[in-house]
Amino acid sequence: MRKRIFTVVLSFALVILASFSAIASELVVYSNWPRDYMDQLKAFFEEKYPDVEMTYLRAAGAELATIFNREMAQGISTADYIFSDFDYMVGYIENGYIEPYVPEGMQYMSPGFYDPEGYWFAIDNGPYVIVYNTRFVSPEEAPKTWADLLDPKWKDAIGIVDPRTAAGVQTPIRLWTYYLEERIGEPFGWNFIAEMAKLNPRLASGHRGLMDLVASGEVLIGSEMPISQTIAAINRGEPIGIVWPAEGNAAVPNTAGIVKNARNIENAKKLHELLASTEGQEFLMSNWGTVPARYDVDWVTPDGKRISDIDIISIAIPEEVRQETIQRFTELMD
Q: Which is nearer to another protein, 127 or 209 (CB)?
A: 209
- Phi and psi angles of residue 262, each rounded to the nearest 5 degrees, phi first: -65, 145
CA distances from 59 to 30, 167, 287, 290 (A): 8, 11, 19, 19
Task: Tell me whether residue 5 or residue 76 sits nearer to another protein (CB atom).
Answer: 76
Distances in Å between the Cα of 185 and the Cα atoms of 26, 176, 192 are 51, 10, 10
78-109 burial by CB neighbour count: b if 16+ within 10 A, else e? ebbbbbbbbbbbbbbbeeebbbebbbebbebb
User: Minimal distance in Å, beta carbon 197 to another protein?
Assistant: 14
In whole angstroms, the minimum distance from the beta carbon of 276 to another protein comes to 24
Q: Which residue number, 26 or 282, has a Cβ lying nearer to another protein?
A: 26
Question: Could you tell me the smallest distance in angstroms from the CB atom of residue 194 to another protein?
Answer: 17
> 190: which strand partners?
none
Q: Nearer Cβ to another protein, position 93 or 210?
A: 210
C-alpha span between 65 and 135 (Å, rounded): 37
Q: Give the SS3 label for residue 196.
A: helix
The contact set with another protein (CB under 8 A) reads: 28, 34-36, 39, 55-58, 60, 62-63, 65-66, 69-70, 74, 76, 78, 133, 135-136, 156-157, 164-165, 202-212, 215-220, 236-239, 326, 330-331, 334
Nearer to another protein, 35 or 183 (CB): 35
Contact 181, 282 (CB under 8 A): no
Output the smallest distance, CB 273 to another protein, in A: 23
Q: How far is the CB of 322 from another protein (least distance, A)?
A: 10
